[in-house]
Structures are given as structure tokens and as C-alpha cells.
Structure 1
């Protein structure tokens, strides 16, 4: 799925940039170009960043009941 139409950046490429160290929308833009055109995808990029860098609410739950 395309996250950024202007730069033809897919969700897979975006995740790769984040895994490669991108921590901000600006850093993602420098790495793959997402968010540097019209800017319409910057909120989507921010959601991917938050999901990757924020701890999950379920991470601290026990694995068994």
C-alpha cells in the first residue's frame, strides 16, 4: 500500500526507513522522500513512527493467565 503518493513510498519502504533509524517525519523524508511533496501523508508517517517507537499497552501483560 502506498503511504506517500508523491514519492511513491510504500508502507514496506516506510517501515524499512523507521527500522533504519528514522525517528521523525523529517528524517523519514530525508531517507525515502515521504512527506516532502504535498505533505498530505505526514500524519500517516507520524502514525507509523508512533507505532514503531511507542511501547505497546499489552507489552507489560503476563503471557499466561
Structure 2
């Protein structure tokens, strides 16, 4: 699945950038070009960044 259409960057590349240490949309853009065009993918990139920072976000909590 493409996250950034302008730069043709798939989700696997975004995940790889985040795994290598990218922590902002700008850092992802520097690493792979995603988000450097029209900017419509910034929210999607942010989702990957947040899921890396908070891997259990959205999962049910146990008592």
C-alpha cells in the first residue's frame, strides 16, 4: 500500500524509516522522500510514527 503517492513510497518503506530512527514527518521525508510533495500523506505518516512510539495504543487493556 502506498502511503505517499507523490513519491511512490509504500508503507514498508515508512516502517523501515521509523525502525531506523525517524521520529518526525520531516525525518521520514529526509530518509525516503515521503511527505515532501503535496503533504496529503502527513497524517498517514504520523499514524506510523505514533504506532512506533506507542505500540499498544488502541489495544484493550487488561485488568
TM-score norm. by structure 2 comes to 0.87
Residue 55 of structure 1 deviates from its aligned partner by 4.2
Larger radius of gyration: 1
Residue 26 of structure 1 deviates from its aligned partner by 0.5
Runs of 4+ off more than 3 Å = none
- The equivalent of 1:40 in structure 2 is 40
TM-score norm. by structure 1 comes to 0.85
- The equivalent of 2:20 in structure 1 is 20
Number of matched residues? 62
After superposition, the CA RMSD in angstroms is 1.8
What secondary structure does 2:49 align onto?
A: helix
- The equivalent of 1:2 in structure 2 is 2
Residue 52 of structure 1 deviates from its aligned partner by 0.7
**What 5-or-longer segments of structure 1 have no aligned partner?**
none
